[in-house]
A and B are shown apart, each in its own frame.
Chain A
């Protein structure tokens, strides 16, 4: 599609988790690899919020880090507005870099405690040479205002702020290079619910005002439902389903998505009988053969154990499951 801002193609990431060389020799063990991300494909359209959900170890954060270039991919391509991110260097890369930013989970760790808030926010402005001197200070003041703090707060240090306010500072810092695309890695999971609501509302307002595109990572399905236009569900590093936001919750396609939705405790207490969830996520060093979900899947067939399912179209997006073939589309 032409309006894709981010396109991720056949993305893989393996981590070497082998023991040290001497241990391997003595214990006669081979190298061990953990496949954190396996053959992931998706695209993010301009102005939308694309969310990735999954349990811990499903590869959400690894994908986020690869998208912003914090860690390299083992193989596959990430295209930003048509430009591949690997292989682009120098001034071209700097030009792309300015256009995306990241917000991290823990606002206590992501802000340098020795810097004034104003300097933290101004750093991207200086790095990309967008402004200097009084002009930069002026912009910092405006940004603080945008995120609901006051221009005077630029003189303070991060420790003088609460968790929610710190996350506002992190958002102001992310906005200061005037990016089009922001990767948000669990931006509210360290916050209390009443503060979470403030941050989520702020992020949506900013999106409307500035036309931002978000990659939103979260393990909290109700937050994701509130924020996302489209949702990708990860299981053991594999993207098992990509669907339109609200439809995903009405008619989940992949059995894993269904299981995940059944498991979420919800305020609405609709009296839905929760299906007991079986088992836990297997060890990603030795993932199950075929479809990685088959040992926990209620509808697994013999075929699922030997063959990995390919993506197929569903009424609301796509999903990788053999059982979907049997159903009338």
Chain B
């Protein structure tokens, strides 16, 4: 396997509130290898976006990293001063957010925003920066890029704006792109174009992608590996095809069964009873135990750590520990 580009170990993110500290991300560990697409899925409140925000140091206060390590090519980035983080953000890690309207400044032209990013991170002249910007826009599929570069964001449609945001994220040729729900605000026909674009460009430049989304269909077609988060914890991680077709964690299995597909024949969807717990009332032991059909004694008292499984997978579930002890 390729080199580990980003390594997250036992990440803990906390929100101190008046009624006590909420642990939004609780000991999450995963790696992203150079050039791969890692999908991060989960329901709302599972901690997907927070994981992304923690990596690039954009946690909204009072949220803070309370434990664990984040390393980019072996170098710790979770304890860098703001100035050091700023050098990494945009330069080595690019970002694409959900809503293209809020990630572009409405008062500046596309040219100003792109060249600013390029000049900040790369040793080029203004004229070169503009040339690069036009080339980037052209690459992300904006027609007549040389003319449209002087337009303002409101001149562009939603899909076109998201293309501009992708150009912006890639402007400094980062090693990792974190895309947080990049297609959620878009229509399906445009969504497909944007996903293809992200995938194409990143593989062309050897950049790794961390794709955060709630849409399993997008993950299925885009990601190499997928991490499933539940209540701020990692439930399962592994190659995307294995996780989708042969999910091991009871939560992942329920999740996959609950998604209607374009080919299924069954009349009923699998349903997981209940809903994800609130951060204030995460059950003791495994966070999924109240909704789990397979829960047994140990699940109510002790939290399972991710257990290594064949095929490069990890599952945080006691069912698999039991199995192994029999062997």
Show the binding face of A for B, using Cβ within 8 Å. Answer: 55-56, 162, 164-165, 192-198, 200-201, 204, 219, 221-223, 225-226, 249, 259-270, 274, 276-277, 280-281
**Cβ contacts A to B, 25 pairs, < 8 Å:** A192-B44, A192-B276, A193-B258, A194-B254, A194-B255, A194-B271, A194-B275, A219-B188, A222-B260, A225-B260, A259-B189, A263-B189, A263-B192, A264-B188, A264-B262, A265-B215, A265-B217, A266-B221, A266-B263, A267-B220, A267-B261, A274-B192, A276-B193, A280-B158, A281-B187
B residues near A270, Cβ cutoff 8 Å: 263
B269 part of interface (Cβ distance < 8 Å): yes
A residues near B131, Cβ cutoff 8 Å: none
B residues near A261, Cβ cutoff 8 Å: 262
Looking at chain A's contact residues, the main secondary structure is helix
Q: Do the beta carbons of A280 and B259 come within 8 Å of each other?
A: no
Report how far A222 CA is from B216 CA in the complex, Å: 12
The 5 closest A-B pairs by CB, nearest first: A197-B258, A265-B217, A192-B43, A226-B260, A55-B187
B282 part of interface (Cβ distance < 8 Å): no
Report how far A264 CA is from B192 CA in the complex, Å: 7
B residues near A223, Cβ cutoff 8 Å: 260
**Could you say which interface size class chain B belongs to?**
35 or more
Q: Do the beta carbons of B241 and A269 come within 8 Å of each other?
A: yes
Q: Do the beta carbons of B241 and A201 come within 8 Å of each other?
A: no
| B195-233 CB contacts (< 8 Å) to partner A | 195-196, 214-218, 220-222
The closest CB in chain B to the CB of A57 belongs to B187
The closest CB in chain A to the CB of B263 belongs to A268
B256 part of interface (Cβ distance < 8 Å): yes
Report how far A283 CA is from B160 CA in the complex, Å: 14
Mark each residue of chain B from 263 to 301: 1 if its CB lies under 8 Å from any CB of chain A, else 0: 110011111110110000000000000000000000000
| B146-191 CB contacts (< 8 Å) to partner A | 157-160, 187-191
Q: Do the beta carbons of A197 and B262 come within 8 Å of each other?
A: no
Q: Do the beta carbons of B244 and A201 come within 8 Å of each other?
A: no
What's the minimum C-beta distance from B53 to chain A, rounded to whole angstroms? Answer: 20
Q: Do the beta carbons of A277 and B192 come within 8 Å of each other?
A: yes
Q: Do the beta carbons of B187 and A201 come within 8 Å of each other?
A: no
A residues near B276, Cβ cutoff 8 Å: 192
Q: Do the beta carbons of B159 and A269 come within 8 Å of each other?
A: no
What's the minimum C-beta distance from A143 to chain B, rounded to whole angstroms? Answer: 20
Q: Do the beta carbons of B189 and A265 come within 8 Å of each other?
A: no
Q: Which of B221, B257, B268 contacts A265 (CB 8 A)?
A: B221
The closest CB in chain B to the CB of A277 belongs to B189
Q: Do the beta carbons of B258 and A268 come within 8 Å of each other?
A: no
Q: Do the beta carbons of B254 and A269 come within 8 Å of each other?
A: no
Q: Do the beta carbons of B192 and A200 come within 8 Å of each other?
A: no
Q: Do the beta carbons of A274 and B196 come within 8 Å of each other?
A: yes
Knowing A193-B214, A277-B193, say if A266 contacts B262 (CB, 8 Å): yes
Residue of B187, B188, B244 most packed against chain A (CB within 10 A): B188
Q: Do the beta carbons of B258 and A269 come within 8 Å of each other?
A: no
Q: Do the beta carbons of B258 and A267 come within 8 Å of each other?
A: no
B residues near A264, Cβ cutoff 8 Å: 188, 192, 217, 262
Q: Do the beta carbons of B157 and A226 come within 8 Å of each other?
A: no
Q: Do the beta carbons of B218 and A265 come within 8 Å of each other?
A: yes
Add 20 more A-B contacts to A56-B187, A194-B275, A274-B221 (CB < 8 A). Answer: A55-B187, A192-B44, A194-B254, A194-B258, A194-B272, A195-B43, A197-B258, A197-B272, A198-B272, A201-B268, A204-B267, A223-B260, A261-B262, A264-B188, A264-B192, A265-B218, A268-B262, A274-B196, A280-B159, A281-B189
A residues near B272, Cβ cutoff 8 Å: 194, 197-198
Q: Do the beta carbons of A280 and B262 come within 8 Å of each other?
A: no
Report how far A195 CA is from B220 CA in the complex, Å: 20
Knowing A249-B262, A276-B193, say if A201 contacts B216 (CB, 8 Å): no
What's the minimum C-beta distance from B141 to chain A, rounded to whole angstroms? Answer: 10
Q: Do the beta carbons of A193 and B259 come within 8 Å of each other?
A: yes
Mark each residue of chain B from 104 to 128: 1 if its CB lies under 8 Å from any CB of chain A, else 0: 0000000000000000000000000
The closest CB in chain A to the CB of B42 belongs to A192
Q: Do the beta carbons of B157 and A280 come within 8 Å of each other?
A: yes
A residues near B44, Cβ cutoff 8 Å: 192
The closest CB in chain A to the CB of B266 belongs to A226
Knowing A194-B272, A197-B258, say if A266 contacts B217 (CB, 8 Å): yes
Report how far A260 CA is from B192 CA in the complex, Å: 10
A residues near B255, Cβ cutoff 8 Å: 193-194
Q: Which of B43, B158, B188, B217 contacts A267 (CB 8 A)?
A: B217
The closest CB in chain A to the CB of B257 belongs to A197
What's the minimum C-beta distance from B94 to chain A, rounded to whole angstroms? Answer: 22
Q: Do the beta carbons of A267 and B275 come within 8 Å of each other?
A: no
Report how far A269 CA is from B43 CA in the complex, Å: 21
What's the minimum C-beta distance from A209 to chain B, rounded to whole angstroms? Answer: 15
Mark each residue of chain B from 72 to 108: 1 if its CB lies under 8 Å from any CB of chain A, else 0: 0000000000000000000000000000000000000
Report how far A269 CA is from B263 CA in the complex, Å: 10
Q: Do the beta carbons of B261 and A268 come within 8 Å of each other?
A: yes
Report how far A259 CA is from B188 CA in the complex, Å: 10
What's the minimum C-beta distance from B105 to chain A, rounded to whole angstroms? Answer: 23
Report how far A274 CA is from B197 CA in the complex, Å: 13
The closest CB in chain A to the CB of B268 belongs to A201
What's the minimum C-beta distance from B189 to chain A, rounded to whole angstroms? Answer: 5
Knowing A222-B261, A265-B221, say if A193 contacts B216 (CB, 8 Å): yes
What's the minimum C-beta distance from B41 to chain A, rounded to whole angstroms? Answer: 9
Q: Which of A162, A165, A198, A265 contacts B195 (CB 8 A)?
A: A265
A residues near B190, Cβ cutoff 8 Å: 277, 280
Q: Do the beta carbons of B220 and A265 come within 8 Å of each other?
A: yes
Report how far A223 CA is from B260 CA in the complex, Å: 6
